[in-house]
Chains A and B, each alone.
Chain A
Amino acid sequence: ETGVTQTPRHLVMGMTNKKSLKCEQHLGHNAMYWYKQSAKKPLELMFVYSLEERVENNSVPSRFSPECPNSSHLFLHLHTLQPEDSALYLCASSQDEGGWDGYTFGSGTRLTVV
């Protein structure tokens, strides 16, 4: 375990479903991130939270909705997704916003939209 736990590991959902991805870290980090990883593409930053406040939203469609109730937990709420949203969704945390000590990634949730 890296210190960042993501659940579920795999998720298959229909385009009309609503589901949530969960991320948890107990590293005492102050920043948390959602990344999307698709084949043959760079890791795409979706959302950044620093001290529980959203500091960056990279023009992500509104069908993705993040929530950070406290510094240890991060959620990604999903609704009315499209097949092209199928990807590996990675959560990461870092001590500070800049991540100079490195990001700690979870193992990801493999999402398939059918």
Chain B
Amino acid sequence: QQQVKQSPQSLIVQKGGISIINCAYENTAFDYFPWYQQFPGKGPALLIAIRPDVSEKKEGRFTISFNKSAKQFSLHIMDSQPGDSATYFCAASLKSGYSTLTFGKGTMLLVSP
């Protein structure tokens, strides 16, 4: 499967700041882009997802920005809180036909009080 490249590997943000995590993909056929959040000792949980027919999706403090021409998408966490400290994974897959998710390597986010 095609790779999904995620950066940065780790991120430290002050409480109240904006956390930004970026992902780039290669397969132009990908058309479903979810983000997962994983706390220590837990499995990943779906946070927010976007399809390429929109450039932005917002749910509370979490926003996905999507740039189809650049084959990039990013997660923005506004007003970051210590409780947001977790590992975040981007992923991509095909909507049509059968496809499983291809995950990025993850970003470990620490929000300092």
Q: Which residues of A contact B (CB under 8 A)?
A: 2, 4, 33, 40-43, 45, 48, 55-56, 90, 92, 97-100, 102-108
Query: Which of A33, A92, A99: most chain B CB closer than 10 A?
Result: A99
**Are A99's CB and B101's CB within 8 A?**
yes
Contact sample, A vs B, 17 pairs, CB 8 Å cutoff: A2-B43, A4-B43, A41-B105, A42-B4, A48-B100, A55-B98, A90-B43, A90-B44, A92-B43, A97-B98, A97-B99, A98-B32, A98-B95, A100-B32, A102-B34, A103-B46, A107-B43
Q: What residues of B have a CB within 8 angstroms of the CB of A56 in the complex?
A: 100
- Smallest CB gap from B87: residue in A: A37
Known contacts A4-B43, A107-B41; is-contact A40 B101 (Cβ 8 Å): no
Partner of B101 from A103, A106, A108 at Cβ < 8 Å: A103
Where chain B touches its partner, the secondary structure class is loop
The 10 closest A-B pairs by CB, nearest first: A105-B43, A102-B46, A43-B103, A42-B103, A42-B105, A105-B44, A97-B98, A90-B43, A107-B43, A106-B43
